[in-house]
Homo-oligomer: A and B are copies of this chain.
Amino acid sequence: MNDVTLKLKPARRERLADVLYGQILEQIASGQMAEGAKLPSEAHICRDFQVSRPVVREALMRLQADGLVVSRQGIGTFVKSRPSDKLTSLAASAEIASYLRAFEPRLALETECAGLAAMRRTKAQLNQIGEALAALEGAFARGETGWEEDFAFHHAVAEAAGNELFPRLLEELRDILSGSMRMALGLTRQGSDDRRRRVLEEHRKIYSAISGQNRDLARLYMRYHLTESRARITGSHGDL
């Protein structure tokens, strides 16, 4: 495993793409680039930001995957939806891409955790999930972001999966998850009542599926919750 040089390169390219992603997102969030506006060409962006073509492509690909821009073949790339302008006050622009990337391993790991928890949870473990849910509702009622309660909820589900490696892997992601949750819930705190209601309902459904020992339902509701959380950050559903 002497691939040190090779491993550094993609890491650096990712970071550059993150910085570029963040700067374009910042301009969209601030309204400098309005919805429907056409982005500069790839060649232009390369020149302006002094980065290589693969870096630009990766940043644009991620912006498109996040529903922020849309690319029309042969015509160009256009602003599709505008995230909240509060987003860039809650996280450094270069970190937003990295926070969003955390949803990929989370989807894989936590969907599995939720399904296993539905099959294996003890009563004590179910109570822990229920307590974290109640704590999250309390935090929302007090006008707090509730990110620690949110993390405790997801951690309790991982514990209930009955395999100590799942909470260990979640711990490994703790730093990036706490940043991601603070950003997401920071937006929710400043958002509509409807938005807070949805966040709580999504958690409640996960709890209820695990309580009812329904594996398919637990997997579905966890996947739905994580997907919607991500969409709430990028604003691709409007303020929901």
Which chain A residues have a beta carbon within 8 Å of chain B's beta carbons? 1, 3, 6-7, 10-11, 14, 54, 58, 67, 70, 101-102, 104-105, 107-109, 111-112, 116, 122, 124-125, 128, 148, 151-152, 155, 159, 161-169, 172-173, 176, 205, 212, 217, 220, 223-224, 227, 237
- Least CB distance from A37 to B in Å reads 18
- Pick from B7, B109, B152, B168: contact of A159, CB below 8 A: B7
Cα–Cα, bound, A165→B100 (Å) = 11
A71 CA / B217 CA spacing, docked (Å): 18
CA gap between A10 and B166 in the complex, in Å: 13
Complex CA distance for A158 and B124, rounded to whole angstroms:
35
Q: A104-B116, A108-B109, A169-B172 are in contact. Are A164 and B14 (CB under 8 A)?
A: yes
Residue of B nearest to A166 (CB): B105
Q: Which residue of B lies closest to A227 (CB)?
A: B220
Main secondary structure on A side of the interface with B: helix
B1 and A124 contact, CB distance less than 8 A:
no
Give chain B nearest CB distance to A15 CB in angstroms: 9
The listed residue with most B CB atoms (<10 A of its CB), out of A105, A122, A124, A173, is A105
A124 and chain B: residue at smallest CB distance: B6
Chain B residues, CB < 8 A from A112: 104-105, 107-108
Chain B residue, CB-CB nearest to A201: B240
B168 touches A172 (CB 8 A): yes
